[in-house]
Structure 1
Amino acid sequence: MTIEPQFFDARDGVRLAWREMGEGLPLILLHGLFSNAEVNWIKFGTAARIAEAGYRVIMPDLRIHGSSEAPHEPDHYPPDILVQDLQDLVAHLGLADFDLGGFSLGARTSVRAVVAGMRPRRLILGGMGLAGLAGWAKRGQFFQRVIADYDSAKRGDDIWLSVQFMKTMKIDRVAARLLLDSFTDTAPALLDALTMPVLVVCGDQDQDNGSAGELVAALADARLATIPGTHMSSVTRPDLGEAIAAFLTA
């Protein structure tokens, strides 16, 4: 299924894209690093399954990803710029009552948005553990190495698959490096802001962002859904959409 993007201008004038599917209660879903809305949510049927459950699924392409612009000027990448972009999308669409979720970077951005004051009714954190929030600096070093060794990585290197994914997705490396520098850690104490019901959904072979169980234990009202797959493969399975739809309609 092909869904044409719609566009709006963020507060700094950067043109950003989003796609929609379905009607009903709004759910904003944020994709993972170096992915986009089409690959993360549409291609494998996740958005369609959630839309069938009665939701208006709103899926932005994060800055530098997909159909959104990827500026090279450092001024376009202040700390938590993706949170600002999410706030601008919510304002552009006039949303007052909505659910929010994401996978990997999208989950991290969703948490940062709630810490900054956004109040969705429910929150969905996919492919995320406690270390992926509190220990971003270490994870960020890995991705900076992916960019630095983009042309020299060899099959078998720990960064090989990430480099291949970047190439497939045609990610702008200059913009990607700037975006990575805009990310900050989320201290466990800040998770007290997550007072709404939270679904943590993670592949049974996914430890890329630490322990999903530890994240659930750190939250006031969270439940864990374990689905088959690794960090890369779990988003391709129907189990992801089923788990999200079950949480939203419970």
Structure 2
Amino acid sequence: MTTENFQSFDGTTLALHRMGEGRPVVLLHGLFSNADMNWIRFGHAQQIAEQGYEVLMPDFRVHGQSEAPHGVENYPSGVLVKDVVALVEHLRLIDYDLAGFSLGARTAIHGVATGRLAPQRLILGGMGVDGLREWDKRAAFFIRVIDEFDAIPKGDPAYFSMQFLKSQKVDRTAARLLLGSMENLDPAELANIACPTLVVCGDEDSDNGSAQELAAMLPDATYAEVPGTHMSSVTKPDLGRAMAQWLGPAKR
């Protein structure tokens, strides 16, 4: 695996991790996680690379090895979609596949549904319809985590999330700005996603609503279930296996 940097649309430096050779697959990680935590550490990227793909894994701004600027101007509406578009343009990708988990899936959906991203195939992990249309509720939860942070007591539903942010060394000032940049998506726009899509979710994961409902609303979707909750499903090999099997061996 190699790691390099590229400049996004506003000059923010983002980290890009690459593994394997062949047809490109872009993997987008979840909120306050990073490429290593979601894709590399538990072998998902390796399983996909072994099928003959080059796996491209950016760290979103405010995450992992990427910059976390504090300027309000660095967080326009839809900033993460803009970052992925910048990556696609930087690498001059035309024929590629796109996958995301949780926030990464949400970002991918927004990009494809609005025509700003055009992958040949799409994989959406840990995402349901509620995660698209009720973002305000999700954002409010994390804003409370950021604002109250060390004052959150054990036993509080937000305590685990606070500990996770602390473990990932998340820049809370930048994170709060990022949370305000994300928009809801009208579920009717899902009809714009015409490419073949895999919706994959843990059998105990309802954090973002029903993934089966999401699959049913997409024009060409397959639903797959893997073991785990929203947090634990990414730690099990089943997720990477389901993704790699659905993609199949890369065509040479």
Q: TM-score, normalised by structure 2?
A: 0.97
Within a 5 Å distance, the mapping from 1:208-219 to structure 2 comes to: 208-219=207-218
| Structure 2: runs of 5 or more not aligned | none
C-alpha RMSD of matched pairs (Å): 0.9
Deviations 1:177-205 (A, max 9, x none): 00000000011111111111111110010
In the aligned structure 2, how far is the partner of 1:160 from the partner of 1:198? 34
In structure 1, what is the equivalent of residue 157 of structure 2?
A: 158
Q: 1:47: Cα distance to partner? A: 0.3
4+ residue runs over 3 A deviation:
none
In the aligned structure 1, how far is the partner of 2:142 from the partner of 2:193? 27
Deviations 1:149-179 (A, max 9, x none): 2111111111111111100000000000000
In structure 2, what is the equivalent of residue 71 of structure 1?
A: 69
In the aligned structure 2, how far is the partner of 1:185 from the partner of 1:247? 28
In structure 1, what is the equivalent of residue 42 of structure 2?
A: 44
Q: Residue 186 of structure 2 aligns to which amino acid in structure 1?
A: A
Q: Name the SS for the 2:100 alignment partner.
A: strand
Q: Does 1:234 align with 2:230?
A: no
In the aligned structure 2, how far is the partner of 1:70 from the partner of 1:234? 27
Number of residue-to-residue matches in the alignment: 248
In structure 2, what is the equivalent of residue 244 of structure 1?
A: 243
Q: 1:106: Cα distance to partner? A: 0.2
In the aligned structure 2, how far is the partner of 1:178 from the partner of 1:163? 17
Q: Residue 57 of structure 2 aligns to which amino acid in structure 1?
A: M
Q: Name the SS for the 1:84 alignment partner.
A: helix
In structure 2, what is the equivalent of residue 224 of structure 1?
A: 223
In the aligned structure 1, how far is the partner of 2:155 from the partner of 2:229? 17
| Structure 1: runs of 5 or more not aligned | none
Q: Name the SS for the 1:5 alignment partner.
A: strand
In the aligned structure 2, how far is the partner of 1:170 from the partner of 1:224? 34
In the aligned structure 2, how far is the partner of 1:221 from the partner of 1:138? 29
In structure 2, what is the equivalent of residue 168 of structure 1?
A: 167
- Percent identity between the two aligned chains: 56
Deviations 1:191-231 (A, max 9, x none): 11111111111001001000011101111111111000000
Q: Name the SS for the 1:143 alignment partner.
A: helix
- Answer yes or no: is the 8 Å Cα contact 2:2–2:19 preserved in 1: no
- Answer yes or no: is the 8 Å Cα contact 2:125–2:200 preserved in 1: yes
Q: Residue 148 of structure 1 aligns to which amino acid in structure 2?
A: D
In the aligned structure 1, how far is the partner of 2:51 from the partner of 2:161? 33
- Answer yes or no: is the 8 Å Cα contact 1:5–1:67 preserved in 2: no
